[in-house]
């Protein structure tokens, strides 16, 4: 019951005007009386930690997963079809598969931006002696080692 009460209080306001009770949906500032910030707002009574997230044109209710993987070039094997050092060998090539490996996973609140996790992930990788030689990010500002100037 407490969770349902909190959801109602954060989304609706009650006012008594001229002896009449009026219940209104809360709206964003400055016109309305304000909604709680997204990281504090309960979005689902079934999962109190789930939050609304948005990235570009995608909206979701839940969490955000930050995955870090290796991105090294495949080494040359010497077969006739391997001219660039990347995938594209002859079909008879006996070179072993060269997969990208997941090196770090972090699950956060859906409201946490990717750029806010860059330093945390770089620090965790360095602590495990898995610091990359170079970094590629789809969001945020790449900095390696952590704290280095751009």
Using CA atoms, how far apart are residues 54 and 111, in angstroms rounded to an integer?
A: 8
For residue 135, is pLDDT > 80? Answer: no
Each residue's pLDDT tens digit, 49-69: 899 888 888 899 999 988 888
- Rounded mean pLDDT of 71-95? 60
* Residue 22, strand partner residues: 15
Between the ranges 82-86, 130-134, 136-140, 144-148, where is the mean pLDDT highest? 130-134
Using CA atoms, how far apart are residues 11 and 32, in angstroms rounded to an integer?
A: 11
For residue 37, is pLDDT > 70? Answer: yes
CB 64 within 8 A of CB 107: yes
User: Which one has a higher pLDDT value, 100 or 142?
Assistant: 100
Label the pairing between strands 12-17 and 20-25.
antiparallel
Residue 48: phi and psi, rounded to 5, are -70, -15
Indicate the Cα dihedral angle 106, 111, 113, 116, nearest 10°: -70
Share of the chain above pLDDT 70, in %: 69
Q: Determine the pLDDT at residue 150.
A: 42
Each residue's pLDDT tens digit, 12-35: 888 888 889 888 887 776 666 677
The model carries a pTM of 0.60
């Amino acid at each position: 019951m407490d969770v349902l009460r909190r959801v109602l209080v954060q989304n609706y306001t009650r006012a008594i005007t001229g002896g009449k009770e009026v219940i209104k949906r809360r709206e964003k500032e400055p016109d309305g009386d304000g909604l709680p910030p997204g990281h504090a707002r309960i979005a689902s009574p079934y999962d109190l930690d789930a939050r609304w997230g948005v990235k570009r044109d995608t909206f979701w209710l839940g969490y955000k997963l930050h995955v870090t993987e290796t991105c090294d070039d495949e080494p040359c094997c010497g077969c006739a079809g391997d001219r660039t050092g990347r995938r594209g060998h002859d079909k008879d090539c006996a070179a072993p598969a060269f997969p990208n490996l997941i090196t770090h996973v972090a699950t956060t609140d859906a409201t946490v931006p990717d750029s806010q996790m860059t330093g945390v992930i770089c620090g965790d990788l360095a602590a495990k002696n898995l610091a990359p030689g170079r970094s590629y990010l789809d969001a945020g500002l790449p900095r390696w080692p952590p704290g280095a100037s751009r």
